[in-house]
Amino acid sequence: MLSNQPVVHDRHLVKEIFHNMKRNNVHRNAFEIPSNLTIVLCRNRGSLAHKTIPHLSGYEDHPILQQNLEYLGINDYVVLSKELPWRWTDKIRLILKFLQEEKCDTELLMYCDPIDVIFRDSPQRVIDIFESSNCDLLFMSTKLGVNDGYNCMPDVKLWADSDTERRGRYINAGVFIGKTTFIKEFLEDSLNYCTDNDCMTHNWQEYLKSKPVNFPVGGADQDIFRFLEPKYYPRVKVDYRNIMAYRG
């Protein structure tokens, strides 16, 4: 249920929520990034029109999250980008390169998808939620779709469902926060499952339907993160209660 989550990751809701914030002058220039946090966004260079649905029209060139952060007074976020074509695993490569080059000097790092995420409150609230979770990396959660990647790794799905607290929710890679040193370790492991021909939006479903024997190699970043969750639990946790970032 959408209540007082500090972050919203729902492409059908974020535009209306953000426009209401602006109309009512809610939290305009009210926040700054806490000194122990780096906020990172990943995107392709140029227009995002190829990813934009009608609910997000008007944000093809300057994504809604960037405009939202700037409205809140947060201008020192980091944008990592590359030329098209864009593969979901480019997120892994870009953030890992950023960390390996020691460009992040904060204890914590938070990633958010720029195209359909907004903040409704201070980033400090996200830190507070993370610190109360007693882990090194906290992912937001989502319900599953019809063909979601777990069909290619049933043992991982069985492990996930053994947790009675999960409530039918699983890793969503669109928002996560963690200790910078551990995120580097986790992404270095994730990179082992990346290839030069990983899926893109248009061919991901067909890839899943093919039931690849070496899954999640060649899949999406979210597939890889879900595959690695049992290995890293409880250092990696999922916000099953949906209190950090809302998604229906």
Give the model confidence (pLDDT) of 25-84 as tens digits.
999 999 999 999 999 999 999 998 887 778 888 999 999 999 999 999 999 999 999 999
Return the closest-CA partner of residue 111 out of 179, 176, 36, 32: 176
**Could you tell me whether strands 245-246 and 7-9 are parallel, antiparallel, or unpaired per DSSP bridges?**
parallel
> Rounded to the nearest 10 degrees, what angle do helices 221-232 and 180-190 cross at?
110
> Rounded to the nearest 10 degrees, what angle do helices 221-232 and 154-161 cross at?
60
**Tens digit of pLDDT for each residue in 178-229?**
999 999 999 999 999 999 999 998 999 999 999 899 999 999 999 999 999 9
Domains, the chain, with CATH or none: 7-246 (3.90.550)
Averaged pLDDT of the chain: 96
* pLDDT of residue 147 exceeding 90: no
* pLDDT of residue 17 exceeding 90: yes
